[in-house]
Amino acid sequence: MVIRKGKKEDMPAALELIKELAVFENEPDAVVVTVDELEQDGFGPNPLFKTFVAEKDNEIIGMALFYYRYSTWKGKTIHLEDLIVKEAYRGTGAGSALYKEVIKFGKQEGVRRIEWAVLNWNQHAIDFYERSGATVFQDWLTVQMDEEGITKFTLNL
């Protein structure tokens, strides 16, 4: 297995991983992003994210997708949006290797924090993160406004 920076050509495989994650997270119909959007948004003139991929026998078996954020308390940070490994390759060390690569990248970039979300029912992931030294907060709630909510809100402005 090789861990490397993702390339534009990897985005069809990345989308398949994203769809597999949506199924795992019980949201099989939630993915609307396209390969074209991933290619443009990740590899266009103003990239919005970076990726590392796990590759085995010329097959993309996992991916970490992350981007920079800015904290008013900490300065430059990284948000790990998704860490995905194909179901058939879970338990092989691919997820751990991708995780290590993101943390190493953050250290090299001088970020003061790397953060991500984990579903409260994914105890396997929570245990892994806590063993690695990460803190899983119990007192912060995730807040989102989806596309429909944005539209409704802006109609009332």
Output the DSSP codes for 110-128: T-S-EE----TT-HHHHHH
**45 residue type, one letter:** P
As given in the structure block, the two tokens for residue 123 are 């105890």
Which residues, including other chains, have CB under 8 Å from residue 110's CB and lie 6 or more apart? 76
Angle, to 10 degrees, between the axis of helix 35-43 and the axis of helix 11-24?
110
d(CA 2, CA 61): 10
Concerning whether 68 is annotated as a catalytic residue, the answer is no
Q: Which of 67, 68, 89, 129 is catalytic?
A: 129
Q: What is the dihedral of CA 127, 122, 90, 77, to 10 degrees?
A: -70
Report the catalytic residues.
Answer: 129
